[in-house]
Amino acid sequence: MRYIGDVHGKYSQYRELIRNIPASIQVGDMGVGFIAAVRDDVRYLSNPPHYAMRQGNHRFIRGNHDNPGVCQRHSQWIADGTVEGDTMFIGGALSVDRASRTEGYSWWADEELSTVALNNLVDKYIETKPGVMITHDCPEEVAEEMERMFCRDKINDPSRTRQALQSMWSAHSPELWLFGHWHNSFRQVLLGTTFICLAELEVLDI
């Protein structure tokens, strides 16, 4: 299986990454559903290549820079809370740059799941005890570690997604946790869990 970091709408590069690969999972911020004003009309910006994705088994989870409503209509989207075998998938995150974005065009108020939805997923996680987690963001303590390493400022904005992921990790340590969002390569074993952050368009084959 190929895992791919944030794409951010760079679909030419993404198509190359999935070419001749039977299956892949992209870890959010694909860039789905951004809208651009064109004269007096409104159109969607170029979105992920459905045909190329469906030719193989190329799927993605939702990041904070993906329109949640458009993701739900995309054939290759993995719904938040999906469990497949020993793997659980959860998308969404908080945009630290949301003040400079336009709601409904480049930012969406439901970029993070609701507190109720996240609490339900915490319960589901504890019940299923997955061996692998695929998420867009990471638990709070992992974010703090990345903050120290990379001097990033994402941790300064409270995120209920990170808090929920932290609750999950505190209850059960999976073997592997893959995520994106931070735009830096990161690999570290913490309390028995191997955390791997994929940078933009970074690839990991497992």
Query: DSSP secondary-structure letter at 163?
Result: H
pLDDT value at position 86?
97
What is the pLDDT at residue 1? Answer: 96
75 in helix, strand or coil? Answer: coil
Under 8 Å between Cβ of 135 and 61: yes
Q: Is 102 left (phi over 0), alpha (psi -120 to 50) or beta?
A: beta
Quick one: which of 71, 53, 198 has its CA closest to 136?
A: 198
- Structure confidence at residue 99 (pLDDT): 82
- Domain at 90, CATH number: 3.60.21
User: How many domains in the chain?
Assistant: 1
CA distance 27 to 145: 20
| Cα torsion 111, 65, 173, 159: sign | negative
Q: How many CB atoms lie within 10 A of CB 191?
A: 9
In DSSP terms, which residues pair with 178 in a beta bridge?
A: 134, 196
Range of the domain at 131: 2-205
Strand partners, 176: 132, 194
The pLDDT tens digits along the chain (206 residues) read 999 999 999 999 999 999 999 999 999 999 998 876 555 555 566 678 888 898 889 999 999 999 999 999 999 999 999 999 999 999 999 988 888 888 888 889 999 999 999 999 999 999 999 999 999 999 999 999 988 887 666 667 789 999 999 999 999 999 999 999 999 999 999 999 999 999 999 999 99
Task: Please give the structure tokens belonging to residue 134.
Answer: 């695929």
Between the CA atoms of 144, 149, 150 and 151, what dihedral angle is there, to the nearest 10 degrees? Answer: 60
